[in-house]
Amino acid sequence: MMADIGFDEVLQTLRMVEVEHLDIRTTTLGISLLDLDGSGDRLAEQIYDRITTLGGNLVKIAREVESDLGVPIVNKRVSVTPIALLGRAPKRDTFLKIGQALDRAAETIGIDYIAGFSALVHKGITDADRALIESLPETIAATKRLCCSVNVATTKAGINMDAVLMMGHTVKAIAEATAAQDGIGCARFVVFANAVEDNPFIAGAFHGVGEAQAVLNVGVSGPGVVNSAVRRLMQNPPENMDLTSIADVIKRMAFKITRAGELIGRVVARRLGPPVHFGVVDLSLAPTPAEGDSVAAILEAMGLERTGAPGTTTALMLLTDAVKKGGAMATSYVGGLSGAFIPVSEDGNMVEAARLGALTIEKLEAMTSVCSVGLDMVAIPGDTSAETIAGIIADEIAIGVVNSKTTAARLLPIPGKKAGDIVAYGGLLGDAIIMPVNKFSCAGFVNLGGRVPAPIQSLRN
């Protein structure tokens, strides 16, 4: 158990909530489905029953804890075992029915998103994987709360380029299937390298095969808290102020945020009762469109004129490392992705940086080498080819593979839109600004297929 939290820490936490946008971004209940033995319609109903039974009180209890402790819990969510692993009768229409059952279960228990409609194809594709992937455009278009992911690479296995090319076509097809909503279905689909089993954040969450029956994982937030702290430091700098001073302030804030997150996660898990137990705290700073609640604003508070300027990658490295160090001191249960998210549409300062031309896809790609995810909520012109999308995904995945870290791509080719246009999705998804992509073709390369071999650093045994 974590040590008792003192009165001073409680007062500091209340200030962070009231003034600096502190919240717990998500309490995500991971549920194992591996023991279900049905197929077809029966499996879909078993999945629905399992989720509504174990997750039926999630929203109610999270709201009670939110009220009792005074810290907002923005999202209450569920993740499940990667669905392709359950494909005993691997047909597209079976996976469509399962996707609809998951969506219906999410609606029944009152959550905004449910995740785990996923496939793990980093070394090869089974019939069930292929059927699930082929069902994605239709399934996403037929649901509102379902989030999907595919893991196409690991450091140990290398990159499955056949799967990457398939993802390029899949992203295009999802955009076209949801064209009436400006391709919003792509916001519920992410492609991974080195996907982790205990990620509580949507859209890439799933409940890994090494997890227990039911686990409550917490995703903390707090960019507004860190932003305020850095700005106060810059306005009243101590003697011998330098970048180490900024790192120390961020570590202290991350410590406090993480303490609050673990407390809330443990209380929610305890009140849910067996078989649920507490899992991990994901330390990732996750922005929202609210003013000040921005990762880009933190980088700019450090002295960058705009996010994307020279020095941005270094500033993001400092931020990510300090968050991890501070959080790791506060809990022994660090997990998930942990670092700093840079979803463009969900971060108002990043949207503005992209609008001004300070932030490009190529600069974002460089930034992802030091943060916790990748090219996240990046809108691109609707006429971008499937091969170019596959090439962008491959480049992002390569960063994860060679650096032994999780990276991902959540790309939104918005039908009928061109570079510079803005689409207002609203809510946490924010405003998507369409970013230009390189016009030169990579079709000859991505169409070669096969596997990119694992890097030499994978040979660690």
Residue range 360-406, pLDDT digits in tens: 999 999 999 998 789 999 999 999 999 999 999 999 999 999 999 99
Looking at per-residue pLDDT, the higher value among 69 and 175 belongs to 175
Spatial neighbors of 18 by CB under 8 A, at least 6 apart, are none
Looking at per-residue pLDDT, the higher value among 69 and 144 belongs to 144
Looking at per-residue pLDDT, the higher value among 42 and 461 belongs to 42
* DSSP conformational letter for 458: G
Domains and CATH numbers, the chain: 32-193 (3.20.70.20), 218-458 (3.20.70.20)
Residue range 81-116, pLDDT digits in tens: 999 999 776 788 999 999 999 999 999 999 999 999
- C-alpha 238/C-alpha 349 separation (Å) is 27
* Residue 210 reports pLDDT greater than 70: yes
Binning pLDDT at 50, 70 and 90, where does residue 459 land?
confident
Span 193-199, mean pLDDT? 96
Span 212-219, mean pLDDT? 97
- The size of the chain, in residues, is 461
- C-alpha 385/C-alpha 366 separation (Å) is 22
Closest by CA position to 294, among listed 359, 225, 236, 229: 225
The model scores a pTM over 0.85: yes
